[in-house]
Amino acid sequence: MAVRTFIEAIRTTLAQEMRRDPSIIVLGEDVGLKGGVFLATDGLQAEFGEARVIDTPLTESMIVGVSIGAAINGLRPVAEIQFADFIFPAFNQIQSQAARMRYRTNNAVGLPMVIRTPYGGGVHGALYHSQSVEAFFTHIPGIKVVVPSTPLDARGLLRSAIRDPDPVLFLEHKKLYRSVRGEVPDTDYVTPLGSAAITRAGTQVTVIAYGLMAHHALEAAARVAEEGISVEVIDLRTLRPLDTETVLNSVRKTGKCLIAYEDNRFGGYGAEIAALVAEEVFDYLDAPVTRIAGPDVPGVPYSHVLEDWFMVNPDKIAAGIRKLAAY
Bridge partners of 235, per DSSP, are 197, 209
Q: What gap in Å lies between CA 86 and CA 158, rounded to an integer?
A: 21
Q: Are 160 and 73 within one domain?
A: yes
| Residues 88-130: tens digit of each pLDDT | 999 999 999 999 999 999 999 999 999 999 999 999 999 999 9
From 184, 212, 230, the end of a domain falls on: 184
Question: How much of the chain exceeds pLDDT 70, in percent?
Answer: 100
Regarding whether 317 and 244 lie in a shared domain, the answer is yes
What domain count does the chain have? 2
In this structure, is residue 136 part of a structural domain? yes
3-state secondary structure of 205: strand
The alpha carbon dihedral of 59, 178, 293, 256 has a sign of: positive
Give the domain CATH number at 255. Answer: 3.40.50.920
Are both 125 and 214 inside the same structural domain?
Answer: no
Q: Are residues 74 and 115 in the same domain?
A: yes
Residue 235 belongs to domain spanning? 197-325
Whether residue 227 sits in one domain with residue 167: no
Q: Does residue 189 lie in a domain region?
A: no
The verdict on residue 192 lying in a domain is no
Q: Of 149, 184, 219, which marks where a domain is finished?
A: 184
In a domain, 81, yes or no: yes
Residues 143 and 208 grouped into a single domain = no
What's the chain's Rg over C-alpha atoms? Answer: 20
Q: Where in the sequence numbering do the catalytic residues fall?
A: 129
Pairing of strands 144-146, 238-240: antiparallel
Q: Is residue 299 in some structural domain? A: yes
Which of 142, 162, 184 is where one domain is finished?
184
Q: Is the peptide bond before 295 cis (omega within 30 degrees of 0)?
A: no
All residue ranges of the chain with pLDDT < 50 are none
Predicted confidence (pLDDT) per residue in 153-178, tens digit: 999 999 999 999 999 999 999 999 99
Asked, for residue 191, whether it belongs to a domain, the answer is no
CATH of the domain at 45: 3.40.50.970
Residues 16, 138, single domain; the answer is yes
Please check whether residue 10 lies inside any domain of the structure.
yes
Residue 1: what pLDDT?
85
CB 212 within 8 A of CB 122: yes
**Strands ordered across the beta sheet of 24-28:** 53-55, 24-28, 76-80, 114-119, 168-173, 144-146, 238-240
